[in-house]
């Protein structure tokens, strides 16, 4: 079993889910008292969020690059960034280490292709929905990506940072997300990417008439696939 290096804390609410899913998946596959070999470095999200708000992605990237270096030095054999948005700075992280980074968008695109879906809606932070670093990675797999309109994007982002990252789950916000999903489906989406690792805390499959691709679950399970690559399961 390979040792997984988790960069967490962005927010810790979803990092908890990564840890739970990874360990449950290892236990389910190997049985008994098996659990995952992993190292978790949880950052102070206030510092990272400030870099995001200021558009200082270089500083954010250098900070997470140092975290990844610490994980590699501690014995991690590959890195999992437990957030969608901060894959924007993956180049800074990869430049600091000699071990691979398991990209969340690649894992998600592979899952979408297995479902024979060619058009998806994308929910996430405003950075993930509006900038190219994530959408282009999905689209390079022959998948069309739709995003909500300007007003919807602002509200989706507000709910993420002011509610979900703080552990506040509100029915009114769930209802709003459900309406946004309906609008995306009306515009042609055959599935929806929950492209923020906190959204799966709010929206479940029963809230959508089309398949939901929960990036937290997909990424966590793919990390187990990689960790057990040489393990007969």
Please, which contacts does 137-143 make with residues 24 or more away whose CB atoms are closer than 8 Å? 137/87, 137/103, 137/105, 137/106, 137/109, 138/105, 138/108, 138/109, 138/112, 138/193, 140/109, 141/109, 141/110, 141/112, 141/113, 142/113, 142/118, 143/109, 143/112, 143/113, 143/117, 143/118, 143/119
Q: Is the pLDDT of residue 150 over 80?
A: yes
Distance CA 113, CA 139 (A): 11
Active site residues: 83, 196
- Phi, psi dihedral angles at 41 (to 5 degrees): -110, 110
The confidence score (pLDDT) of residue 230 equals: 52
Before 11, cis peptide (omega within 30)?
yes
Q: pTM for the whole thing? A: 0.92
> Distances from the Cα of 175 to the Cαs of 63, 128, 165, 205, in angstroms?
36, 21, 18, 13
**130: closest CA among 63, 41, 196?**
196
Question: Which of these, 45, 55, 53, lies nearest to 10 by C-alpha position?
Answer: 45
- Given a contact cutoff of 8 angstroms between Cβ atoms, the answer to whether 120 and 158 are in contact is no
pLDDT > 90: percent of the chain = 97
Query: Both ends of the chain: CA-CA distance in Å?
Result: 11
Q: Which residues contact 28 (CB under 8 A, 6 or more apart)?
A: none
As a whole number, mean pLDDT of residues 69-75 equals 98
Q: CB of 81 within 8 A of CB of 90?
A: yes
Residue 229 confidence class, pLDDT cut points 50, 70, 90: confident
Task: Evaluate if residue 185 carries a pLDDT over 90.
Answer: yes
The answer for residues whose C-beta is within 8 angstroms of residue 224's C-beta and 6 or more apart is 22, 25, 26, 29, 36
Q: What is the DSSP letter of 176?
A: H
The average pLDDT across 77-85 equals 96
Quote the pLDDT of residue 195: 92
Over 50: is that where the pLDDT of 125 sits? yes
* pLDDT given at position 139: 96
The pLDDT value given to residue 233: 40
Q: What is the mean pLDDT of residues 11-22?
A: 95
Task: Check pLDDT > 60 for residue 232.
Answer: no
pLDDT > 80? residue 231: no
Q: Cα separation of 220 and 194, whole Å?
A: 14
pLDDT tens for each residue of 151-166: 999 999 999 999 999 9
Average pLDDT taken over every residue of the chain: 95
């Amino acid at each position: 079993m390979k040792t997984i290096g988790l960069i967490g804390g962005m927010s810790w609410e979803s990092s908890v889910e990564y840890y739970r899913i990874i360990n449950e998946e290892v236990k389910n596959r190997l049985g008994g008292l098996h659990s995952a070999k992993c190292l978790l470095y949880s950052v102070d999200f206030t510092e990272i969020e400030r870099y995001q708000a200021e558009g200082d992605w270089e500083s954010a990237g250098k900070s997470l690059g140092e975290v990844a270096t610490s994980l590699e030095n501690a014995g991690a054999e590959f890195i999992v960034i437990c957030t969608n948005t901060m894959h924007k700075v993956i180049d800074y992280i990869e430049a600091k280490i000699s071990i691979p980074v398991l990209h969340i968008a690649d894992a998600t695109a592979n899952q979408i292709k297995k479902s024979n879906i060619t058009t998806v809606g994308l929910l996430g932070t405003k950075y993930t929905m509006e900038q190219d670093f994530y959408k282009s990675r999905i689209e390079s797999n022959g998948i069309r990506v739709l995003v909500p309109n300007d007003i919807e994007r602002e509200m989706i982002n507000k709910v993420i940072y002011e509610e979900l990252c703080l552990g506040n789950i509100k029915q009114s916000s769930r209802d709003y997300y459900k309406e946004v999903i309906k609008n995306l489906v009306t515009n042609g989406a055959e599935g929806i990417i929950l492209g923020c690792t906190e959204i799966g805390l709010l929206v479940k499959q029963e809230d959508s008439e089309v398949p939901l691709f929960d990036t937290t679950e997909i990424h966590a399970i793919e990390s187990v696939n990689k960790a057990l690559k040489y393990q007969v399961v």
